[in-house]
Amino acid sequence: MSKGLIKRVGGAERKYVEEVLATDFANSKNCGILARFEKAFAQKFDVKYAVAHTNGTATLHSALYAAGVRAGDEVITTPLTMSATCMSILQADAVPVFADVVEDTFQIDPRSIERIITPRTKAIMPVALYGLSPEMDEIMEIARKHNLVVIEDAAQCFLGKYKGRTVGSIGHFSSFSLQSTKHMTAGEGGLVCTNDADAADLVRRFSVLGYGSVSRAKGIITKDDIQNPNYERHVQMGYNYRMPELCAAVALGQLEHLEELVERRMDVAALFLDAIGDCSWLRPQATPAHCVNSYWAFTARLVSSDIKWTEFRKKFMESGGDGIYAAWMLSYLEPMFRKATLDFAGKEKVIEATHKGTLQTYEKGLCPVAEKIQPQILAFKTNYWDWDRALAQAEILKKTIEQLT
Ligand SMILES: Cc1ncc(COP(=O)(O)O)c(C=O)c1O
């Protein structure tokens, strides 16, 4: 049955954008759209506070600051993720320490986390990769035992579930991205979520140049604040990461039909799963029974020694398939981590000063499971707003498998 065409950007987005434009961007006519969006997002994601940002990298930086991560602290994360995860750790002058992943789910392995905790470890940054939650109960238990802060990077996971809980509501902080490929978008954008009121104040101030008059609930500086010669503006160092109101307007509209947007991706993933069937050499990312995978992308591992990744992609595309994405190079194998070319934009000096040779060695062999599966992963788009196109892609996938079997 055809599920029809979904309008990714609809009437609500346009209505809210009009509302912002009608203010002429005059402070006195501010329509409060940023606060409305933050409140609605927090409600939808089962958290007390959501602080909107310019993007989902800035959010990680703010969360690390509010988590108390400072120069030389270690943050444990996965190497199998988009680069922003570990870049944000470096932006915070902290040191990324990489844990290995679980072969069938691709998610950070709690047992590996436990093995690399040191007295300098301050936080864990798990990533809900491709829309699936990591094993959060185990991660939270490790954090409790070692007094660590957990920052969920949920950039790729909207309305995913872990044991009935919404992904992004479990850690001490979570971070979402509204970049254009994500489940909901404002072109760019992001949010930090937390249930801790003081932490939300810290996030807010860090993300708006350290202004003292803003807080978890107040994202803008008012006339009463600034029209006072004695107004002391900056109580701390901060960055300019505030989400523009036009983005908040689009995002508020997106939030109103987020279920539809997520459901479409899950339905498309179900088509691809069906197309793979019981193929022995193509293994879909495993979704444990206690998780709902929100399928930012549909992924499978090519485990055949006879078929090459590039050959599969070529065959798929020759039959009319859209492109297939590879998994990102593991973060620590990127050129910026290589000794000869090491370039952390000056952060390496902080790391050298604080670690003096005790650093994890960023080279092959560090995370064997991640190294094994990264070259095997095929990632298929799930953002088909036209259902018939999705059906055709699934059919092409089935045909490609038949041809190669
Ligand atoms: C896992 C992950 N973390 C962080 C980010 C960074 O988000 P943004 O592009 O909004 O900065 C992305 C996405 O692009 C991502 O996929």
pLDDT at residue 129 is higher than 90: yes
How does pLDDT run across 287-298, given as a tens digit for each residue?
A: 999 999 999 999
Radius of gyration (C-alpha) of the chain in whole angstroms: 22
CATH of domain 259-327+370-404: 3.90.1150.10
Place of tokens 């995913």: 160
- If pLDDT is split at 50, 70 and 90, which confidence band does 229 have? confident
Is 214 buried (19+), middle (13-18) or exposed (0-12) by CB count in 10 A? Answer: buried
Place of tokens 């957990």: 150
CB of 108 sitting under 6 A from ligand 1? no
CB of 156 sitting under 6 A from ligand 1? yes
The domain limits of the chain are: 11-257, 259-327+370-404
Judged by average pLDDT, the poorest of 30-34, 78-82, 214-218 is 214-218
Judged by average pLDDT, the poorest of 145-159, 216-230, 278-292, 361-375 is 216-230
pLDDT computed for residue 357 by the predictor = 62
What average pLDDT does the structure give for the chain? 94
In SS3 terms, 309-371 reads as HHHHHHHHHHCCCCCCEECCCCHHHCHHHCCCCCCCCCHHHHHHHHHCCCCCCCCCCCCHHHH
The preferred substitution site among 77, 129, 130, 177 for testing ligand 1, maximizing ligand atoms within 8 Å of CB, is 177
How does pLDDT run across 248-257, given as a tens digit for each residue?
A: 999 999 999 9
Active-site pick, 48, 161, 182, 218 = 182
Q: Which residue lies with its CA nearest to atom 4 of ligand 1? A: 84
Judged by average pLDDT, the poorest of 126-135, 258-267, 330-339 is 330-339
How does pLDDT run across 319-337, given as a tens digit for each residue?
A: 999 989 999 999 999 988 8
**108-136 average pLDDT score:** 97
pLDDT computed for residue 97 by the predictor = 95
Give percent of the chain above pLDDT 70.
99
Ligand 1 center to residue 83 CA distance, Å? 8
Is 114 buried (19+), middle (13-18) or exposed (0-12) by CB count in 10 A? Answer: middle
Residue 182: active-site member = yes
CB of 55 sitting under 6 A from ligand 1? yes
The preferred substitution site among 54, 57, 296, 383 for testing ligand 1, maximizing ligand atoms within 8 Å of CB, is 57
CB of 97 sitting under 6 A from ligand 1? no
Whole-model pTM? 0.96
pLDDT at residue 356 is higher than 70: no
pLDDT at residue 338 is higher than 90: no
Residues 6+ away with beta carbon under 8 Å from 30: 23, 220, 245
CB of 96 sitting under 6 A from ligand 1? no
- Residue 295, phi-psi category: left (phi > 0), alpha (psi -120 to 50), beta (remainder): left
Q: Which CATH number fits domain 11-257: 3.40.190.10, 3.30.1600.10, 3.90.79.10, 3.40.640.10?
A: 3.40.640.10
pLDDT computed for residue 305 by the predictor = 87
Ligand 1 center to residue 29 CA distance, Å? 33
pLDDT at residue 364 is higher than 80: yes
